[in-house]
Structures are given as structure tokens and as C-alpha cells.
Structure 1
Amino acid sequence: MPEDQPTRILVFGDRVRDEYILPLARRGGYGENEGINEDWKNHDQWIPMSRDGGVQMTADMLRWFFAEDEVVVAKIRTETPALKSLARLGDCKLCKDTGRPDSFRTAQVASKNVPENLKLRVERFEGYYGNARETLRSEILIELDLPPEQPDAIVINDAGTDLRQSAGDHPNAFLSAMNGLPENSGTDVILKMHLPLAEKLAWTAFRDAAGRARTRVVIVGASDLRLHYSGETTQAGAPIARCPSWDRVVEDLRAGVAARHGLLKTLVEGSDALIVLFDVEGAAILEGTSPDALKITLVFDPMRAEGEMAHLLPGDMVGKMNCFLASFTNTYLRPPDEKRETLLAAAVTDAIIDARLYAESCFTVETDSEGKLQPGYPAVRSLRQDYEAQLQGTPEGHALPVYVQLSPKLSAPCDETGNKTSRPQHPPVQLLADAVEETRAPGESEKTFEQLAHKIVSEGIEKTLKNLPHGRFGDLWTVDREEIEGLRAVNTLIQSYLDDQSDSKPLSIAVFGPPGAGKSFGVKQLVDKDKTPVLEFNLSQVGEEQLPGFFHMIRDCNLENKTPLCFFDEFDSRNLSLLKNFLAPMQDGQFLEGQTLRPVGRGIFVFAGGTCDTLDEFEFGLGNQPFPQDTKGPEEKSGLEDFEAARKLAKETKKADFISRLRGSYDVKGPNPRNGHDRAYFLRRAILLRRLLERHLDGIISQADKRASIEPELLTALIGVEEYRHGSRSMELLVRALARGHAGASVGRSDLPIDGQIGMLVGLESWRKLLAGPAG
């Protein structure tokens, strides 16, 4: 619909009155014109503010994009007062580099009692009062001066109170509008729904508009979708993981639709499109009324997981979903050029960016028509214009949100299952592979992973990966799904532990990977080294008598009110002889010195494996693992002996007790392929290689466009060699050797050391073949 053509939007929803208090700190002392009569100014104060939320907030935000008379809001008349919410506001300091809120600061009493230039966010939600569902009056009148023309859209904000409690035996403009839609009308119906989901009037009227509404779009939050609810109907919540990776999210959504009972299936079958919001980091669009016809489109920030921005920013903003709803409606009703089949994804992309910018901004203070103070919403259109202008001139690695649209290949239809405890088995989602495939231009070879790896080294990590699923943890970048999930899980454990000062015992985590995989580097990126000192202990070089000294070092950090990150390298060396010495510190926070038990204090214990590449390898010899059969030959008999030896060692060293005290673990893959299906190792190598070039050969990287000048044959060999004998250590030694040999602004084969030295680091036959190039 052209922007100059009038639009008619009917808005229905629930009443909410949002009330706020802003605490102000006393100024102290007396000014020249102040005396004892104004002593009240020298006491802590607070400013009350309020504004209509709920359906009125929806309408106010729609008017960011549409004219005043284009948005018609239904009136609800009932004797029951509106639901009220209460929140405590705080004044924010803005970061000089990003312009985003950085931290709360103390707002002080001003001479006019209202401080100026306030940047407000919700510091704490205090809850709701009034209008409990069980006290609602049955006589709820919904009134609306219905325009003569058919509306272009009906927008519904169903928060679970007035609207769904209304009935058809009283004047109800909502039912009149929904039931009055003719067959195949051009009206879109957009429903934003909160708990409890998919029940009562708003949902049934929306669901029954099939065949009359042009499109029925329902928007829900992932947090609501996860909850099991027993109300009018019993709905099993969708078991969607809290975004350890976007691949896992897609798999969980697909499994939820396949389940015989549950909210996801109900919502998908009752709508033309279901939009699931993962806070402001992503959204999934589910289309198709049956599992075998399901299409999932993901719009996501490839660098962030659900809820990450909420942890990075102080406080919160009221109205993020309303902002999403308003922006989505604008693009969906007035698309620029998108075809109908791509319109949903385009509207969701616009809406999630606007909601993100809104979530990263602040309220101001305004005066309403009655002269009362109210919070002022940030001007989202201005935020969007600033964002687009910054996006053009911001260097790579910027913190501005960049969202990607991706429709994963669901290679097998979902199978229904009546067993609620079992998860349907499907081929794993490969978002990275799908995204890489989309980057391939017509006529390019199928070696897209290798080509992308070349681009990472030549053009930079930030520029190349910004549109691909990846994880970034400090200076560590990874594209491997399992590493992303493992690091995010461990990061959540660490941050929760650091936030909870009441936990007086150490947090224990294990990290496994081949030698040189970068186990210590990855974990160190998860903490602020200024606040969390790093202590490193190599257990392959010590005996039991030296461990108390290590624990005393940890105690010393606690005495300085700091929680250390304690990295115990090669903990599985020395035939696991030291494991039992960590059981008491891990479990009880105590260690034995002589005959005395002493407290070790808080600490993040990271146990890095030196002999096992994975947790599964370390667990060999435990549990109910079946014995290899010894009746088929000597190979099986040898396996039996190995298992029996491992089981005996596990009992002697109390391996099972050690593992039971771990709260988390993850496996690092390193720069070599793990198996024949591991294509991501090209990208893991490329990321590491680019970082090594920036550290040791920065002279070959252009300051203007950040391109690295490296001979193509050399780059092909560095990326594609069959094996680095000692993982990342071999890669770094090879780059260091190139740095010693090169002179000038580029590096090539002539800068390499002799073959004897190279052969200590890589598989020499594979290296020579790649280095020779196609002609060789």
C-alpha cells in the first residue's frame, strides 16, 4: 500500500496503566536563596509518573508510522479499574563510544524539583495491582465507531485481561469487527498475545477468521511459549532451549510443532504465520499448518544469543513487544518493494531492529495535557535514521545490530509422537552450512568453506562473518556450533556465579580438546581480567605436597575481595593421581593442609584436559558401558582389557566423584578436522590464522581496507594442509617463522623456512602439494 494512501487500522486490547517512581537523592547544604523553610530539599525524594500502557501504548506507537486518524482504538467500559503496573526508574549514564546506556547514576533533587536531561530506564519492576482476573465484571463493553470502509488491519494486543473476558451478549465491537470480515477480505489480522496463550475470546475470534482475513499473524514471546499452563485448557509448554545456538532453536521449534499436544502445534494450526520473539536478538517465523509442510524463517543477530543485550545494558525498557508490533504492522501494510512471499521476513527484520534500538535507548520526561509528568518514549524513527547513518560509516566490528534472514533446510518432515518425554529425532540443522551456501555466487565451485576461509584471512574476521552464525567471546570468534553452545553454557554459569556472591564454594568446569586447541584462551575470554584475576597451575609438573600452596594463592585473592579464575592445566596427567585432592575443595570449599581443613574461598576452577580430547574420552571406564565382546578375536580382547584397566583406574582415582562435582564442560575442537564430515575446520583455521597475522605480521595488513597481502598459494597451503601436528601451537610457530623471513608489505612462499623445519609443524606431503598450486 503506498504511503500517501490513507490506512485504516482498528486496535483492540487490554487496559493497563503504567506507573513509575523516580528516586532522587538529596542535594545537601543550603543555597544562597534557600533557608530552613526549604529543608525538604535536603531529604531523599521521588517523582511519580504514569502513562497508559497496554492497548493505548500500542496505538501510540502505531502513530509513529501512521496518521492520528488512521489508527482507531476501541474503548473498553467496565466498572472494574484498569490493571496497574509499577516500576522503579533510574537515571542512566551513556557510553561515549556507543551512545548506549552504560550504568545507572544517582539523580539528585534540582532547584525546580525535576532534574533536567534525564535518561531513564526501568531499574526494577515492582509488579501489578488491581484488576485480578477472578474479580473482573462480566459486563465489559467494547465500543468503537467503526469506519464505513473495511479496515486494512485489525491489530490486537491481548494481555489476558479485559478483551478475552468480554462476551458476545454485551456490546462487543471486537466480535463485530472480526465476525464482520467478508470472505477473502483484504484485512490482515495481527495478534500480539501474552500469557495464558491460545485461549478464550481473542484467540478463538482470531483463529476462526480463517478464510476471511487475508493473513492471520500471531506474535508471542519465547519465554511465554516455554511455560506449561493449566487453565481453560491444558497446554504443554514448548521445550525451547534458551538459545545456546540458533541451530538448536530451530530444532526445538520443529520438534515442538511435531508433538501431538502443545502450544506450538496449536498456534501454528490456528494461524497463517506464527512469529516467536527471542527478546530483541532474533525472531522465528513459522508457516505451514502441518509438520511436513513446516517452513521456518529465522531473523537473527548472528553474533548474539537470546537475552544477551538485557545482560549487557543496565535495567530494561517497557514496551519492546509493542514497538515490534507497531514497526511490523507498518512494513507489512506498506511494503516498499517486497513481494508477498518475502514480506513477512522483511517486516520482521524491520521490527526486530526497531525493537532492539528501542531496547537500547532511554525514556525522557514529558508533560501530558493535564500538566502531569509522564515518561516519554524514544523517537524510534529518529533512532532508525541514526542507526542507518552510523551503519554506513562504522568500521568493522561495530556494536550496531545487524540481522540476517535465513530459511534453514528442514531435510526431513517432522514425525508426530505421543510420547511427551521423548524428543523427535531429526537430522540436525546446519545453519552455518545453509548460510555459507547462500553466499555462493552462480558458477562458483562447491568448495565454499575453503573460499570463505580465504576471505576471512584476506579481508578480516569481522567483515566476513557478520552475516554468518557465529559466537564472539571477547577476542575469541568461533563458527562451530558445538563450541558456541559449550562456550555460551559455560559463560552463563560463570556470569551467574560471579553475580551470586552468596555462593561460597568454587564453581568447577572442565575443558577438553587436543593439544594446542586453545583451551585456556577460550575460557579467559569469558571474564574481565581486571575484576577476575587469572591463576594458572600446570598439574603435570607438581605433586600433592604443592597443592596447598595453590589453594593459599586462591585464598589470597579472596582476601582482596576478588574471585579468581583458576586454570588447572593437564589435570588428567600423572595417571589421574591428583584428582582425589580436588574433591573436598570442589564440594565443600575446603582443602587439607597437614591435618587441618582450611577454607579455599570462592573461585572458578577450570580443569583443562591434557590426555583426553573430549569429555566422552575422559569418561571411558565409567557407568554401564558394555564390555567389548572377547569372542571375536584378539582386537576385541584387547579392547576388553583396556576397558577393565580404565574402570579400575577410575575407581582408584575417584573419577566418578570428580565428574559429579563439575557444573559444566565443553570441548574445544582446534584447527584440525575432527572427522570426515567436519568442514568448519577451514573456518576455525582461518580465524586463528587471521589473528596470528594481525599479531606477528601486521605490516602486511592495509590500514585502509584491512586486507592482508599474502601469496595465494601460501594461503591455500596454510588453510588446506592435512594436519597441524600440534594444533594452534604449530600454526603460531609457522607464522612466526614467516615473520622472521619476510620483508616488505606482503608475504609469500619465499619467506618460508626450510622443509625440515616445516615438517615438524605440518604434514609435509600435503603441504608441498598445496604449495605447488594447480600447475604443480
Structure 2
Amino acid sequence: MDNKDVKIAVTGDVCINLMQWSIDRKCTRDLSWKNYPNVFRTFKDGEALLLSKLVEMSTGVSVIAPQIGSVDGYIQDKVLVSSTELELFPITDSDNNKTYRVKQYLGFTGPTFGEPKLFPIINDDENADMVIIDDENNGFNSNEDFWPLALKSLEKSPIVLYKTNRLNCESLLWKHIEKYHIENTVVVINGNDLRSKGVNISRGLSWEKTALDFVWQMSNNPKLASLAKSRHLIVPLGLEGAIYYNNQGETAQSHLYFLTNESEGEFIKESQGKMYGMTSCFVAGLARAMVSGMNKNDKFICLDDGIREGMVATQKYFMNGFGKTVEDSFPNPLIFEEKENDFIYKENIQDVLIRNTSNPNCQGCWYIIKDKSSNSLLEIAYNIVKNGEKSALRFIPIARFGNLKVVDRTEIENFRSIKNLMTEYIYTSNVVRPLAIAVFGTPGSGKSFGVTEVASSIAPELIVKLDFNLSQFHSISDLATAFHKVRDLSLQGKLPLVFFDEFDSDLNGKLGWLKYFLAPMQDGTFREGDSIHPIGKAIFVFAGGTSSTFKEFCGENISDEKDYDKFFREFQSTKGPDFISRLRGYVNILGPNQTDNEWDQLFIIRRAMLLRSLIERKTPYLINERGEAQIDYGVVCALLKVGSYKHEARSMEAIIEMSRLSHAKEWEQSHLPSKEQLKLHVDEEEFLRLLMKDTFFSEKIETLAKDLHNSRLENHRELPDLDLPCKHYWELTDEDYKETLRSRVKNIPDALQKIKYDLISVKEKCEIIEFTEAELNILSVNEHKQWSLEKKEKGWVYGSIIDEKNKTHSSLVSWMILPKEEKDKIMKDIKAWPKILADAKLKIEKMKYLCYCEVNGFDAGSR
């Protein structure tokens, strides 16, 4: 089926958007009214009317839809009218250019009499190939007269895209779809719409947490029973993610699609305004991909591509807004076109199969970083140090809070929880008491740095940090003096971020300081003699000195019942429970040392990120123009693998400072401090042994790239029109081509993960495996996607011919429509991988168990 022959019917509930905005035109020489702000208003199509426009733009095919003509007084009295106030907002968070977006939604105006008017599809056709419905639960779902003919006909089976903000399982429309069209229906409902109906799905803590919450709710929440019967359900999560739920009867699988550098809700800042119609734009992007794949045997093979198309288009839709003047073209058709220097490409969007089990151990241990990479964590860590986290973690979720970068899921969730608390507190007026949070960690783990960066990322111009170490206070008067300093800052209009370090130190006995914080935390006041003083708005951060975790502080790690009873009696006598009741949050800082041998496997990633950060700050001259750290692999290995650092982050910093690097071009083993100096910070014998360990996979990249080239030279010899330098020997090929092959080799471990294989180093040449047809197809699709992303990031765009000068390439299309001969080239390369890797003594083997649930046989994707 050619795309131009496809016919789409778009219909549903209809509304008109009344938009108003004001312009302040100062004029003193004209009529008096012009001295005041001039208020303008206009009408724009909404709901199904807007959706039909977006679909027509995205697909470029024939769209039949309702039409209402001019918005005269008669129509306004009949239809639903949504009123919004517009304002100019920066296009990006730090952009001087502005566009109109919604400042606030003012509400709806209903028709004068009766229900909102519905409109029939003009020139309706029962042979429509696709039906797209916008069901806002405003009457359309109960009025069969306005349903499209293709949907009502029992002899037709169109693809149905069913967009709704609340699935009414009792409506006539849903019952009809469920009975006759459920196999061909894709339901789209926004994540926030689910939450507004009482579905508890976390937002903005971590992608893992949100995904696992969704899966649990789909399996257990009776409110979602009807949705759970859907064969295809897509839930957009803000502009940054989406979940695809695929239910084929006995089992259901859910895939998470996400941007690695954003969490849900982070793309849009408060200062950027709002936009209506974003879910409609997502559906239009989804339709675009499905139209492209309508000639395939599997009608839903394009959903993966469609989700990516929808996410990219929605972000562009928001960025464009209503334009510099509201009279600008809206919606802008360019949102569905891929251009050079786009801020996001669909290949940037990652996906992962969501683990699905009721086992609580699996809920806690699932980390996307484990599922997204078949490299050992050590190899990922090495890549972070060598090339920076932007390169090494481009497929892994990463959270940034100012200068703090975090990849450990536990830390991400803890820090985002604290950030949410702080944000709510900072922007809430009329608060009478400080916000109290606690932070725990071993000395040197970075307790102060982490919380400070989180706070500064919210309001750097407002927050002023104060530090007080209670172990150095001698009496209550010292604490009163500290409170006065806090109060003075608050009176100056600043927000004090107050660190009470070692708050759990002794004062006339264990935890003696706690009782003196109860009134300040509860009432926002402190006593000095007979006087009571208000503290004002402040954030209290209580940093533990003797307890490294919250559980340790509360005694929850004491297993012996008698010991715990004794601890709790003492804890009560020191007002410990009262103190905890006044806390609004806490965070355990995970430093560079491993906290638990069984569960904490990501310590090596934390070390790598800290080490890379220290190199960038203290020895930036060791990083070349390509962003590569010039450091001996043995040095990296020892720094990453040594058992523990005696003083945590301070020890890592000390080793860099003690190394002789002031005039070095590369950090070599000879630059390290002496054995006696190392002893201050690590087990020096273990550290020196680790310097001589085996090389990483990355040390074999050059050989593997050369072998892959030689394989191409052999496999593609029969192709006379081969557009590759591999017509020549490796030594005669240009450096750009070599770098492309090196990049392809670096991606092999991550690609193998997608078919559940690990890559491990062995001493002898191993057996050469053969990929199944299904595995080969998955690898080929992934290989083409990664190649496309790298091309686009270098400025290449699609063109009918390959043109080096103008950077156009005919293969920059989705895998579905890539010519067969191009697919065959990719598959031949991948078929050669097992032999190339085996020759390099790298073994491809099935992935080892990653967590408790896999050991016990739980299926990561089944419901």
C-alpha cells in the first residue's frame, strides 16, 4: 500500500480554544485607552479539530474529519469553549527569543443549552484505513450517530488510535471497540491523566521507579482492569518518556522509552509556560510512523518507531508554542520534519523492557544501567573515566543537580525526593518553620556537597549556606548564637541553608543535642534566656557524624531483639523519635566505597564519575581535544577496583594531588605516589597488584576494527557499487572511516545485551556461535539506529543520494523502509561478529543472573 493511498478518519469530541493576551503599548499622544494594556483574543481549533490538523501535517495523507466553519456567535453558544491566557515565554529555559504559550488555563464555557455540539465527519468513508478518536468524555462516546463509518461497519477492521483522558469502560464507544476492534486498537492516555484518576504512579524520582509502579498498577489496580485488556496501550510520561504496554492474552510486556538526561517533567520549567494539545501531537507522530508501515504484514511493527516520532514531535510542538505572534502559523508543520541541528533525534530515545514481578527484591534491585549494557560494570566505569559520562552513559539515565551527577538509582531517587521537598518549600509563602532534612554518610562521602548542589540547582541567587559543627560547640549558648546568624540572613530576604554537622554527637550524654532542636523544628522559634525569637524561613540539614545511614541512626540495623529494646529505650530518652517525627526527608549519601557486597554493585560507577570529575577539575590538561583522559589503563583499573578508600572521596582526591602530574601529558604508573604515601589512603599492596591486571575490552578495539574491515572486504567484494572505503586495505583507508568502524566496535557489547548476551574475556580462542534469525534482526535494527544517530549528530540529513559535501545520505531512513540491499550489508557485518570476537579471545555467552528475581525464575516481562 502506497502512503498516498491511505485514508484516515479523525473525529471525537470538539472544542474551541479562546485565547487572550495583552500587549502593553505605551502611547501618550493618542486616545486615552491606548495608554492601557491592549487585550487581544482569537479562536483556535481544539480536541478532535486540532488532532485532525496535526495528523494531516504529520502523515501527508488524505484525512477526513469534522469541520465547523467560522466561529460565529451561533457556534459559540453550541460548542464547548476552553479559555486560556497567553504570555510570551523564552523558547528554552535560557533563551532570549520568545514565543507565546499558555500562562494559565481559565476553564470551560459550556453551551447555552444542552450538551456540547458534535459534528459529523465530512465525506465519511467506511473504507478508511485508520480511525483516530479523541474521546474527552464530553458526549462523543455515547452518540453513535457521529462515529466514523469504518468503526461502525462490522465488515471493516481499520487500525484504531484511541486517545482519551479517561477511559470510560461503560461508554457505548468503548464497549463497541472492545467487542469488535480491540485487536487493532492502540489506546493512548497521558500518565498525568492516569494519576488524576487515583492511579499511584511515581513521577520524577527515577525511570525505574515510575516503570515498576506502572506495571504493578496494571496488574493490581481494579481501576485499570479495562485498560489492562487493551492489546496495545501507550502512556506518554511528560515530554521525556512513554510506556508501551503490549498484552497478547496470557502475558503482557511493558517497554519504557525515555531520555537519559531528563526525568519526567524536567524538560518544561515553570518559567516556560504550558501548552495544550501535546498528547494530540504525540498521537500524530504515532500515526505518521504507522502510516509508513501499513504495507507490512504486522500492522503494529511501527509502534516502536511511532513512540519515538511522537516524543520528538511533542517536544518541538512545545518549543515552537504559538509563535512570536499568535497570528503565526499554528500548528507549525516543521515539528514533523527532521532538520540538521535538531535538539533531539528519535535515536536519542532509549528503550528497555520493564521487569515485572511482585517480588520486592526485584523491585529494589532493577537498574536500567544493568539491562542497558552487556559490558561489565568495570568496562563502563573505565569508559566513564576515559571518555566522560556523556559518551559512556549516553544510553543510561543520569541525574544532574548543579555540579552533582548521579547514576545510581537509589541516589537519584533520594536526591530528587529532597529536591522536590526543597522546591515546594522555597516557593511556598507564609511558612512559619524551617524545612528539616537529614543526610547520612561516611566521613568524606560528600554529604555537604551533594545537598548543597541540589539546593543551589533550585534557587542559587536566594540560598546562602551556613555551616556549624556541633562537635565543636561547648554549650547551648553556642547553638543560640548559630540561630541568630540564621535569623539575620532570613531577615535580609535570603534563604539560609544550614548544615548542622555531627548533630548526633554527644552533649552531656549520647545524642544530647536533639532535644534543643525540637522547638525550632516544630515552631520555628528558639529560646535565649527568657526571650523567644522567630527563626524565619530556612532549610535545616542535619548531617550525621556517628551514623552513616538513617537505619543505623534509628537502630533499625540491630537484629538482636534485646539489644534493640535497650537501644530504643535510650533513643526515646534522648527524644530521638520526636526528632525523627519533625524531619521531612533524609538521604543516605553513597560514597566511592561499596556499602553492601550483595546489593551495591554500582559503587564502581560512582568511583568512575568521581574520578572523572576530579581529573576535569584538578588536571584538565590531561584531557585532549576529543575529551579523552590521557591516563594509563592500569592506573584506572587500580583506582576503580581497589577494595576501599580509607577516607572515601578525600582519599581519591589525595591520590591525584600526591601524583606528580604538574608537567605530565599522560598519567602514567610512574607518576603515582610512593608506596608509603598510598598506604595513607588505600591498601597499598592490593593497589599495586591491580596496576598489572589484564587489559579491558577497549584495548582490543583497534584490532577488532581492523578485523571487521577485513571481513567487509571479503563479504562485500561482490558488490561493485559498494559505497565503502573497504575496497582498500586497512592501512590505506582514511581516518574518518577507521573512526566509524571503531565506534561500531565499541557498540558491540551494548548491542549484544539486547539479545541477552554478555561479552567476556577468555584465555583461549572460544567456540564461534551463530545468531538466530530473530537475534540477527534485532541486532541489525539496533546497528542501523546507532549509525543513523551518529550521522545525524555530525550534521547529516536524508537525501536521495550520498553526498559528502552536502552531508546527505540515502540510508538515513527508518529500518522499515531501508532498501533490502542495505539491510543485507548490515546483516553480513553482524554475522561476522562471532568469529572476529572469538579470534580476539572474547567469548559471547548468555547473560548471567542480574538479580534475585532472575535467579528464582521470574520473567522480566510477563504479567
TM-score (norm 1): 0.82
SS, match of residue 53 in structure 1 = strand
1:115-154 aligned within 5 A = 119-131=99-111, 135-136=114-115, 142-147=120-125, 150-154=127-131
Q: C-alpha displacement at 1:766, in angstroms?
A: 2.3
In the aligned structure 2, how far is the partner of 1:477 from the partner of 1:519? 14
In the aligned structure 2, how far is the partner of 1:500 from the partner of 1:617? 33
Which residue is 1:663 aligned to? Answer: 584
Answer yes or no: is the 8 Å Cα contact 1:672–1:724 preserved in 2.
Answer: yes
Which residue is 2:465 aligned to? Answer: 534
Q: C-alpha displacement at 1:50, in angstroms?
A: 1.2
Residues 191/387 of structure 1: CA separation in 2 closer, same or farther (3 Å cut):
farther
2:314 to 350, 355, 380: 355
CA-based RMSD of the aligned residues comes to 2.9
Instruction: Please give the per-residue CA displacement for 1:220-249, whole angstroms capped at 9, x wherever unaligned.
Output: 011221244xxxxxxxx4221123111112
Instruction: Please give the per-residue CA displacement for 1:10-69, whole angstroms capped at 9, x wherever unaligned.
Output: 011111010011022241433xxx4xxx222111221111112111100111121234x7
Answer yes or no: is the 8 Å Cα contact 2:66–2:119 preserved in 1.
Answer: no
In the aligned structure 1, how far is the partner of 2:461 from the partner of 2:204? 28
Which residue is 2:535 aligned to? Answer: 600
In the aligned structure 2, how far is the partner of 1:605 from the partner of 1:91? 37
Instruction: Please give the per-residue CA displacement for 1:567-596, whole angstroms capped at 9, x wherever unaligned.
Output: 111111123111111111111010011121
SS, match of residue 287 in structure 1 = strand
Residues 52/24 of structure 1: CA separation in 2 closer, same or farther (3 Å cut):
same
1:406 to 352, 372, 395: 352
Answer yes or no: is the 8 Å Cα contact 1:579–1:653 preserved in 2.
Answer: yes
Answer yes or no: is the 8 Å Cα contact 1:152–1:188 preserved in 2.
Answer: yes
Residues 726/250 of structure 1: CA separation in 2 closer, same or farther (3 Å cut):
same
1:381-530 aligned within 5 A = 381=334, 384-386=337-339, 388-389=341-342, 402-410=348-356, 412=357, 425=360, 427-428=362-363, 432-433=367-368, 435-440=369-374, 448-526=376-454, 527=456, 528-530=459-461
In the aligned structure 1, how far is the partner of 2:583 from the partner of 2:93? 40
Which residue is 2:40 aligned to? Answer: 47
Q: Aligned partner of 1:21: which letter? A: Q
Which residue is 2:226 aligned to? Answer: 266
In the aligned structure 1, how far is the partner of 2:194 from the partner of 2:109? 24
SS, match of residue 268 in structure 2 = helix
SS, match of residue 304 in structure 1 = coil
Answer yes or no: is the 8 Å Cα contact 2:59–2:287 preserved in 1.
Answer: no
1:24-39 aligned within 5 A = 24-30=23-29, 34=30, 38-39=31-32
1:82 to 79, 87, 95: 79
Which residue is 1:192 aligned to? Answer: 163
Instruction: Please give the per-residue CA displacement for 1:634-667, whole angstroms capped at 9, x wherever unaligned.
Output: xxxxxx3x43542243123211111000111111
Answer yes or no: is the 8 Å Cα contact 1:268–1:287 preserved in 2.
Answer: no
Q: Aligned partner of 1:406: which letter? A: V
In the aligned structure 2, how far is the partner of 1:344 from the partner of 1:358? 20
In the aligned structure 2, how far is the partner of 1:391 from the partner of 1:159? 30
Which residue is 1:18 aligned to? Answer: 17
Which residue is 1:223 aligned to? Answer: 192
Greater Cα shift, 685-694 or 16-25 = 16-25
Answer yes or no: is the 8 Å Cα contact 1:511–1:609 preserved in 2.
Answer: yes
Q: C-alpha displacement at 1:310, in angstroms?
A: 3.0
2:671 to 714, 739, 751: 751
Q: C-alpha displacement at 1:190, in angstroms?
A: 0.2
In the aligned structure 2, how far is the partner of 1:50 from the partner of 1:489? 41
Which residue is 1:761 aligned to? Answer: 681
Unaligned stretches of 5+ residues in structure 1 = 102-118, 229-236, 367-372, 393-399, 415-423, 441-446, 630-639
Q: Aligned partner of 1:53: which letter? A: G
Which residue is 2:726 aligned to? Answer: none
In the aligned structure 2, how far is the partner of 1:256 from the partner of 1:644? 38
Which residue is 1:106 aligned to? Answer: none
Q: C-alpha displacement at 1:377, in angstroms?
A: 2.4
Do residues 203 (structure 1) and 174 (structure 2) align? yes
SS, match of residue 267 in structure 2 = helix
Answer yes or no: is the 8 Å Cα contact 2:622–2:630 preserved in 1.
Answer: yes
Q: C-alpha displacement at 1:344, in angstroms?
A: 1.5
Do residues 160 (structure 1) and 159 (structure 2) align? no
Which residue is 1:70 aligned to? Answer: 62
SS, match of residue 218 in structure 1 = strand
Which residue is 1:443 aligned to? Answer: none
Answer yes or no: is the 8 Å Cα contact 2:293–2:301 preserved in 1.
Answer: no
SS, match of residue 309 in structure 1 = coil
In the aligned structure 2, how far is the partner of 1:144 from the partner of 1:26? 43
Q: C-alpha displacement at 1:142, in angstroms?
A: 3.7
In the aligned structure 1, how far is the partner of 2:288 from the partner of 2:604? 42
Do residues 60 (structure 1) and 53 (structure 2) align? yes
Answer yes or no: is the 8 Å Cα contact 1:280–1:352 preserved in 2.
Answer: yes
Q: C-alpha displacement at 1:179, in angstroms?
A: 2.8
TM-score (norm 2): 0.74
Answer yes or no: is the 8 Å Cα contact 1:268–1:289 preserved in 2.
Answer: no
In the aligned structure 2, how far is the partner of 1:335 from the partner of 1:513? 53
1:587 to 519, 522, 539: 522
Q: C-alpha displacement at 1:140, in angstroms?
A: 5.9
Answer yes or no: is the 8 Å Cα contact 1:82–1:131 preserved in 2.
Answer: yes
Unaligned stretches of 5+ residues in structure 2 = 696-863
Answer yes or no: is the 8 Å Cα contact 1:436–1:468 preserved in 2.
Answer: no
Q: C-alpha displacement at 1:314, in angstroms?
A: 2.1
Answer yes or no: is the 8 Å Cα contact 2:58–2:333 preserved in 1.
Answer: no
In the aligned structure 2, how far is the partner of 1:194 from the partner of 1:390? 29
SS, match of residue 580 in structure 2 = helix
Instruction: Please give the per-residue CA displacement for 1:71-114, whole angstroms capped at 9, x wherever unaligned.
Output: 1004689997111111111122455965775xxxxxxxxxxxxx
Answer yes or no: is the 8 Å Cα contact 1:19–1:87 preserved in 2.
Answer: yes
Instruction: Please give the per-residue CA displacement for 1:703-736, whole angstroms capped at 9, x wherever unaligned.
Output: x211001001110000111101111111111111
Do residues 379 (structure 1) and 332 (structure 2) align? yes
Answer yes or no: is the 8 Å Cα contact 1:327–1:350 preserved in 2.
Answer: yes
Answer yes or no: is the 8 Å Cα contact 1:338–1:346 preserved in 2.
Answer: no
Do residues 556 (structure 1) and 461 (structure 2) align? no
Count of aligned positions: 681
SS, match of residue 537 in structure 2 = coil
Q: C-alpha displacement at 1:145, in angstroms?
A: 2.2
Answer yes or no: is the 8 Å Cα contact 2:608–2:640 preserved in 1.
Answer: yes
